Amino acid sequence: MKTSAFIKFILVTLITLILIAYFDLPIIVMIVTAFKQRADIFTPVPKWIFTPTIKNFVDIFVGTTTMAEGTLAIQNSLFFVTTSTVIAMFIGSLAAYGFSRFKFFGREDLIFFVLAQRFMPGIVIVLPMFVLYSSVGLRGTALGLILLYINSALPFVIWMMRSFFDEIPREIDEAARLDGHSWFTIFIKFVLPVARNGFLATFLFSFIFTWGEFLFALILTTPESWTMPIAIVNSRVSSEILWGQIAAYGVISIIPVFIIAIALQKYLVRGMTLGAVK
C-alpha cells in the first residue's frame, strides 16, 4: 500500500506540474518580457536572467515616437466594460428573475430565443450596426459600443442568473410577498442578496468576455474610442515590432481580470460550468 501511495503522489505531482507549465508558462514568458529592456528581448537565446525595467509600462502611459500613448484606450476599456457589464447584470438579472418566477405562455420559447442570440456570428450583428451607426452618428461613440456590449452580455447573464434564481426556494419570495413587499423590493432586497455568489460569478465572466472583445471594437471605434485590444493591435503597425511594450500591454490587460478572478476564485468554477453541471 505504501509504495502505491508513493507512486500516486509522484504521478499527481508530475501531472500537476506539466499542466501548470503548459498553461501558465506562456503567461510567465509574457510577464517576464514586459519587464525586459529592448536589448534583452532581441537575443537569439531566451534570456531568463536580466535587469528588470518598467520602461515598457512608462512608454504605454507616456507614448514614444513610434507608439501612441495608451492611457486613453485603457480608460476607454475600463469605462465601456464596467458600464456595460453593470447595466447588463441589472437588466439581465431582472429578466432572469421574471423567467424564473413566472409561468406564462411561450416562456420556454422566449428563453430559447434568448439563447439563440449566441448562434449569430458577431459579424452578422456588427455589419448592420456599422451601417446604422454611421448614418446616425453613433460610430466611434461610447454609447454605441456600450449598447452593443450590453446586448452581447445579456443572453449569458439571463441564462446564468436564471439557473441561480431557480435554486432559491420560491417560499422566500412568497413569504416576502405576504409580508407586503412589492415585486421589485423582493427582487432587490430578498432574492438578489441570496443569489450573491452566482451574481458575482456571472459578473466575472461577463467582464472577461467584454474586456477581451475585439470585433465590435475593431469595426465601430475611432482612435478616440479605441479599447485596449484595438490599441494593442494597432501598436503592431509600426516600423518595428515593439515586443516589450506589447507584452506590457498584455500584462496591463490581464491585471483587472486576474484581480477579479482571484478575489472571486470560489465562484470561478460555477461561472464556467454555466449550469452545465447541476
Partner 1 sequence: MAKLVVENVTKKYGPALTLEKISFTAEEGQITVLLSPPNGGKTGICKIVAGLDEVDSGKVYLGDRDITDLEPKERRVSMMFQKLALYPNMNVFENIASPLKALHLPPSEVINQVEAIANKMKISHTLYRKPGTLSGGERQRVALSRALVKNNADLYILDEPLTNLDAKIRASMRAEFKILQKEINQTMLYATPDPIEALALADKLIVLDKGKIIQQGTPEYIYRNPINKFVATFVGYYPINLIEGSIIEKGEKIILQTNLFEIEISKLRDSVKDHINSKVTLGLRPELLNVVKKEPKVQESLDLFYIKGEVFEFEIRGSDTVVYVKINDQIIRVLESKITKYDIGIKVWLQFNLKDIYLFDAESGLLIR
Partner 2 sequence: MPGKSRLFLFFSLAPAFAFILFFGIYPFLFACFYSVRSFYFGLNVDNVFTAMSNYHNSVIDPLFQYSMFVTFVFVIVSVGLQLLIGVGAAILFSVIKTKAFKYIQVFLSLPLMMPPVVTGFLWWYLFNTDLGIVNYYLSYFGIMPRNVNLLATPITALASIIYADVWMWTPFIMIVTYAAIQSIPNDVMEAAIVDGAKDRHLIRKIILPRIKTALLVVLLIRVIDAFRTYDLVYVLTGGGPGTSTQVASLEIYNTAFLKWFLGQSFAQALMLTAILILVGNILIYLLRRGV
Residue 154 CA to residue 88 CA, distance in Å, equals: 6
Q: Which residues contact 177 (CB under 8 A, 6 or more apart)?
A: 183, 186
Site for partner 1, residues 240 to 269, rule: CB under 8 A: none
Binding test (CB under 8 A) with partner 2, winner from 59, 74, 92, 162? 92
Residue 260 CA to residue 120 CA, distance in Å, equals: 29
Binding test (CB under 8 A) with partner 2, winner from 73, 146, 150, 176? 150
Binding test (CB under 8 A) with partner 2, winner from 24, 108, 167, 174? 24
Strands (E) in the chain, as ranges, are none
Residue (61 or 258) nearer to partner 2, CB:
258
Binding test (CB under 8 A) with partner 2, winner from 12, 136, 143, 172? 12
Q: Which residues contact 170 (CB under 8 A, 6 or more apart)?
A: 101
Asked if 219 touches partner 2 (CB under 8 A), the answer is yes
Residue 40 CA to residue 46 CA, distance in Å, equals: 8
- By a kind-dependent CB cut-off of 5 to 8 A, residue 160 interacts, out of partner 1, partner 2, none, with none
With contact defined as beta carbons under 8 Å apart, do 81 and 89 qualify? no
Residue 183 CA to residue 30 CA, distance in Å, equals: 49
Binding test (CB under 8 A) with partner 1, winner from 24, 108, 167, 174? 174
Contact range with partner 2 by CB under 8 A, out of 64-72, 138-146, 163-171, 264-272? 264-272
Asked if 148 touches partner 2 (CB under 8 A), the answer is yes
Contact range with partner 2 by CB under 8 A, out of 49-57, 67-75, 137-145, 268-276? 268-276
